[in-house]
Structure 1
């Protein structure tokens, strides 16, 4: 990867101070005519995101939708996630467990929303970003949090439900020990009197379940239009 070089037009765009809507048009036409389809395409997207200090609003949607679509639909297992690519996601978009970018946190959340299955480790990881915002005042979620306080706000409740929505069963929220542990840790770090009432309802709806799912030992496999590369 040390010899990786950006090709035109990405190499020119990466040197700009502001990434504009016209640049996205060039990227769609020349760099990603079929969309983001390979691991190298991901590297290009991340390089552009990190190199341009200012970005047009259109970039956020392009970044999130392109990378989420690739990770879920063009990586193994297609249409879903497993423990291996969940670990890759956490390693790629976080430093010491902290997602520092609000945009990259939005990417992680969108990946979870469009995947037919989400490993519980990734769900717990997303919830832990709320804990980090409350206890350590760090991370991408902290950057978007409207109120800096120890209590759970309505915004925090909406965030938690965005992470848990796909596992809700009527009035019950079944969770594994790892997710349950993160939520309980958040609970201990806040004062009940300062929490939004909906938080209490969420905690009461939790139902601890011990999921036994086999882990695989494969590497992250990237799927393009022709083949899967181990």
Structure 2
């Protein structure tokens, strides 16, 4: 029997549970050729909104399929632009209900899988986790796991480095749940992430989306030559451009000196840390652990 989206949606509205067989039927309908159209992506999101109960297979399919759609459906693959990030957030928020665990897992997975995504997408996900923690009054195991995956995800500006907004969020979470029964790895995550923010160095920077699109178009154009590519991209003599790539390059900075500078706590970073520690006039065990971590790294 062929799959009918209208009939399936009606059944879900009446309270039907999504079975493993249903998941297979939706997969065959929406993703038969490894590609999902815009309309099919909208339909899969609607099914997820209508679902009251579902077998675990649904979560696996939903996250996998929507990640593929958002990250790889349009060139350049691996990049999420502002419009697509806005579409994703709109889909999640459309019903006006609190963000569900499956929806949050999807957004975190997308940030993990993308080569570059708008900073607003990671910031949105951080806010959702913070709101979830506020509702529960503690940092649970699920929230701690999502936080670790999100703040250390490679996708987005400042990849692999914990940024200022992330550091501020983690500090607020620490303050609000300091005496709660938090996840076993929460304190370690807090210390490692804040230590990263204060002292870590990374030379990784993802290509800008426009540059990635040009390179992908070049790779896919089998009629192109390398020199012809330079001519189209630069609008100049290709031999001159090719020589320019080999000659006259800027000297590489001293890597060891750059890493050492990043590892040192700057006066501004010291002021930031001191202001937060002094805010309540006490030194809690999270702050003690962070100071010990920083001192240990500085002493190496």
TM class by shorter chain equals 0.5 to 0.7
TM normalised by structure 1 equals 0.67
Corresponding residue of 1:200:
191
C-alpha distance in 2 between matches for 1:53 and 1:193: 31
1:16-31 to 2 correspondences below 5 Å = 16=11, 17-31=16-30
Q: Which runs of 5+ in 2 are unaligned?
A: 211-300
C-alpha distance in 2 between matches for 1:56 and 1:96: 22
Cα shift readout 1:197-228 (whole Å, capped 9, x = no counterpart):
3123322321499x9x9999xxxxxxxxxxxx
Corresponding residue of 2:150:
163
Corresponding residue of 1:60:
59
Measured after TM superposition, the shift of residue 35 of structure 1 is: 3.9
C-alpha distance in 2 between matches for 1:190 and 1:203: 16
Measured after TM superposition, the shift of residue 132 of structure 1 is: 0.6
1:174-185 to 2 correspondences below 5 Å = 174-185=161-172
Give yes or no for the alignment of 1:87 onto 2:86.
Answer: yes
Partner SS for 2:128: helix
C-alpha distance in 2 between matches for 1:130 and 1:154: 12
Residues 178, 11 of structure 1: CA spacing in aligned structure 2 closer, same or farther, 3 A cutoff? same
Residues 202, 54 of structure 1: CA spacing in aligned structure 2 closer, same or farther, 3 A cutoff? same
Corresponding residue of 1:222:
none
Q: Which runs of 5+ in 1 are unaligned?
A: 1-6, 138-147, 217-230
C-alpha distance in 2 between matches for 1:96 and 1:41: 18
Residues 38, 202 of structure 1: CA spacing in aligned structure 2 closer, same or farther, 3 A cutoff? same
C-alpha distance in 2 between matches for 1:58 and 1:206: 37
Alpha carbon RMSD of aligned pairs, Å?
Answer: 3.6
Query: Counting strand residues as a fraction of each chain, which structure ranks higher?
Result: 1
Measured after TM superposition, the shift of residue 130 of structure 1 is: 2.3
Count of residues in correspondence between the two structures:
193
Where relative contact order (Cα < 8 A, 6+ residues apart) is larger, the structure is 1
Cα shift readout 1:63-120 (whole Å, capped 9, x = no counterpart):
1101110110003542122333223222221369985211111111111121112332
Partner SS for 2:121: helix
C-alpha distance in 2 between matches for 1:193 and 1:50: 32
Contact 1:86 1:119 in 2 (8 A): yes
Query: Counting helix residues as a fraction of each chain, which structure ranks higher?
Result: 2
